Amino acid sequence: MELYEIGAVTYCTNVTPGKSLSPEEAEYVASQVSGLFQSRLAESPYAEDVGVIRTEYKLGCVITTITIGASLAGLYKIIVDYEKFKSGLSQLAKDLNGVYVRVKQSLHGNGSTYVMKINLPDERVLEVTLKKAENQENRHRD
């Protein structure tokens, strides 16, 4: 299923003050956050139409950004029922607030995670994305 980018959710995972993580440890934290998000997404009504395109992270506390995409059919559904989708995604993202993830692959250290930002475009931007996706799909068929 081809996914078209529709927004992102950014989480912050606190680490113990004074401790710095290696890039590998930060990637480990980000993979846990992304995995939890994807498991919640799999239980949602949009599970067949929406998925994770990529997961990125930054160091400090671990900032994990999960970029979300939708299939062509999913874009139609989202635009038709935008307010319901937007509130549902916001709730799904907030469900991870306060969840603890392992900071290191050893038995030591956990970090509390909370949602920092949900970036979803408005309906007009999604309509432009839909038009581009339709054009791309049409070109693939020809």
pTM of the full structure: 0.80
pLDDT, one tens digit per residue, over 112-140 is 888 989 998 888 899 999 998 888 888 77
Are the CB atoms for 100 and 45 separated by under 8 Å?
A: no
Rounded distance between C-alpha atoms, residue 50 and residue 10, angstroms: 17
Which sequence spans correspond to the domains of the chain? 4-100
pLDDT, one tens digit per residue, over 44-76 is 988 899 999 999 988 878 899 999 999 999 999
Residue 106's pLDDT is 54
